[in-house]
Amino acid sequence: MPSSSRCGRPSACRSRPRSRKAVPTVSLDAFLAEIESLRADAVAALGVVADEASLEQARIEFLGAKSGRLKSIQKMLGGLSVAERPAAGKHFNDAKQAITAALEAAQGRLAGTAAEADAIDVTLPGDPLRLGHLHPITQTIRRVQEIMSRLGFESVDGPEVEDQWHNFEALAIGAEHPARDPLDNFYLAVARGADPLLLRSQTSTVQIRVMEQRKPPLRIVSLGRVYRPDTADATHYPMFHQVEGLLVEQGTTMAHLKSVLRLFASSFLGGDVHVRFRPSFFPFTEPSVEVDMEWGGRWIEMGGAGMVDPAVLAAVGYDPDQVSGFAFGLGVERIAARRYGVADIRDFYRNDVRFLEQF
């Protein structure tokens, strides 16, 4: 073999001859004194470190691999006589163990402090939860639905963007009727074919939509938004809510209508409520009435009602000789204002929490 090296690369692998530095001679006593003072210093210092940075500093000072104090003492071992070395080595190892244990104890202590800092202090007062609640109009809608469902009326929805047929024509509101005036409606810039669409001006649209899809007998209520370009004041708003009621069965009369409205009103407002009908006109009911309710000595106009006009029944394919029905439409804001004693309906929409949180 030409090479003396196991790896075959003589120059790279061959270990360099050690340059042995001469270690100064030292006595066992001197060595022991050094090691004991190191142990005392280290245990004392590690016993009081209070944070990670000073712990690391102490570790380097005492146990640092290059120039830590333990390392320098280890080097002194070479200066002892061969006979003294075993005893010195034992002391050295004891001290090293003690210092390492002190370091671990310090690490444990700091970790504990950190965990304590993260821990929840169960004696502190908690952050109060701010519980919200439903808007008074939504509460009113839900309450009306609940009362009406006990009277057998199913709650249904209809679209807010409507066509001429459902908002007007099927309800016998002819082309010349002032209710179709562009100034009294929110007509949209979009149309379905030649049919301009609008934001529905009344929930009576849902009567038509339901009757087109179902056969009598039926009892429905529909609560939702309607839109009219009214100037906002204490009793008007360009968007408001209506309750629409419709009952179509054989032999329905105005007496049924009045009973249902009275039952509803006394359930909703509580106590003895009176319902009064005043003659009126709506194109889709015959006869038609205005509905007033008296509660706590005050009469309030709540909306309109009447017997469904035979022309409307015919428009949806019902036989007016077979069935009759009643319908009513009430203002949700009026009902809510009456119930909660609110004088200005604009307050419902100002989104002032100080107002809303009272209900």
Binders of ligand DAH among 266-285, rule CB under 6 A? Answer: 282, 285
Q: Is 202 in the site for ligand DAH (CB under 6 A)?
A: yes
Q: Is 303 in the site for ligand DAH (CB under 6 A)?
A: yes
Smallest distance, Å, CB 305 to ligand DAH? 5
Smallest distance, Å, CB 224 to ligand DAH? 12
The set of residues, in sequence order, having a beta carbon less than 8 Å from that of 257 and lying 6+ positions away, is 247, 305, 306, 307, 326, 328
Among 305, 312, 332, 336, binds ligand DAH (CB under 6 A): 305
Cis link prior to 24 (omega < 30° from 0)?
A: no
Q: Which residue is nearest to ligand DAH (CB)?
A: 329
> Among residues 136 and 304, whose Cβ is nearest to ligand DAH?
304
Residues that bind ligand DAH (rule: CB under 6 A) add up to a total of 12
C-alpha count within 13 angstroms, C-beta hemisphere, residue 159: 11
For residues 165 and 177, is the Cβ–Cβ distance under 8 A? no
For residues 216 and 256, is the Cβ–Cβ distance under 8 A? no
- CA–CA dist 81, 85 (Å, integer): 6
> Among residues 90 and 177, whose Cβ is nearest to ligand DAH?
177
CA–chain centroid gap for 224, Å, is: 24
Pairing of strands 324-331, 195-199: unpaired
Q: Is 185 in the site for ligand DAH (CB under 6 A)?
A: no
Q: Is 327 in the site for ligand DAH (CB under 6 A)?
A: yes
- Per-residue x/- marks for ligand DAH, 226-265, CB under 6 A? ------------------x---------------------
For residue 188, give the nearest of 169, 163, 168, 206 by alpha carbon: 163
> Among residues 68 and 329, whose Cβ is nearest to ligand DAH?
329
Among 68, 216, 224, 306, binds ligand DAH (CB under 6 A): 306
Cis link prior to 136 (omega < 30° from 0)?
A: no
Binding site for ligand DAH (CB under 6 A): 202, 204, 244, 282, 285, 303-306, 327-329
